[in-house]
Amino acid sequence: MKKNSYKSWIIPLLPAFVLLGMFFIAPAIWAIYVSFTNMNLTGSNAIHWQFVGFYNYYNIILDNSFWTSLLVTAYFLFGSVAGQLILGLLLAVYLKGQKLIIRSVVEIFAIIAWVMPEVVTGFAWISFLNYPGGLGNVLISFLGLSQPWLFTHPLFSVTVANIWRGSTFSLLMFIAALDGIPKELPEAAKVDGGNQLQIFFHVTLPLIKTTILTDLVLITLFTIGAFTLVFTMTSGGPGDATDLLSIYAYRQAFNFYSIGYGSAVSVIMLIIGILLSITYVTFGYRSEKPEFK
């Protein structure tokens, strides 16, 4: 019996394990290995590379540009995650009470923004923020705020673009979560005299806390790995104003040809992602504990 049950799950899962092993685990292990070498794409180290221990990591720590990129990534991450979470949640709550037609139209537009290739999104935003004459600048010209945004506020601009693009994911998750709340609960709260805000904070929000946590973990991981949108819009510039860790790693590996060094930066990004996920989950689990008692 036991043998049968073992077979019943291992065989269907085998293709997934093989694919995961080939396309994720093996490259990840290879990247970790390469991060301990001085492998280059060109020059003598392209063929005669050696194991150099923690030398790449040591150099990364000494490199001011790395710390700048880390800070830029932190701002971008915080802004994007907070923006996507709040915007997604607000839209989901708004749509919850709307007619099906309005809900469908908004969802379709949001999904279009989400599925659009990031390169296209990047160009759309460059055009929108173009100065002078971009639609965004024209729309706010009556406020006297027209300016070359990608130059005057580059990090803010790319963060807004990323929020615009990524909020759909949160929206879809929250719509599903809100649909799962039994109607009786908010109605009961209403009967007990709760207003809209009280119902939202004391009934709705606690009930979708797990979804918020899952959303938080996923969009954090998406954002840490973000590259294409920002690279298309600014290439990390002007100067190093939008130089995300992913762009820093790319530049080291493919512009300076230091594959080993670039891999080490990627490994650091992986560690940051894992640490943040563990923190969220631990924090979320602790705060949920009382509810299980």
- Note whether 256 binds other proteins by CB under 8 A: yes
Q: Which residues contact 1 (CB under 8 A, 6 or more apart)?
A: none
- CA–CA separation, 228 vs 215, rounded Å? 21
| Sequence letter at residue 4 | N
- Note whether 140 binds other proteins by CB under 8 A: no
Q: Output the CA–CA distances (angstroms, integers) from residue 251 to 22, 39, 69, 259, in the order listed.
A: 26, 15, 12, 10
Residue 42 · residue 257 · CB < 8 Å: yes
Q: Whole-number minimum distance, CB 139 to other proteins, in Å?
A: 19
Residue 239 · residue 259 · CB < 8 Å: no
Which residue, 66 or 169, is less far from other proteins as judged by CB? Answer: 66
Which residue, 211 or 263, is less far from other proteins as judged by CB? Answer: 263
Strand partners, 37: 51
Q: Mask 33-72, x = binds other proteins (CB under 8 A)?
A: -------xxxxxxxx-----------x--xxxx-------
# binding residues, other proteins (CB under 8 A)? 29
Query: In this structure, what token pair is assigned to residue 76?
Result: 């971008």
Q: Mask 98-137, x = binds other proteins (CB under 8 A)?
A: ---------------------------------x------
Which residue, 41 or 270, is less far from other proteins as judged by CB? Answer: 41
Using CB under 8 A as the criterion, which residues of the chain lie in contact with other proteins when the complex forms?
A: 40-47, 59, 62-65, 131, 148, 150-152, 235, 237-240, 251, 254-258
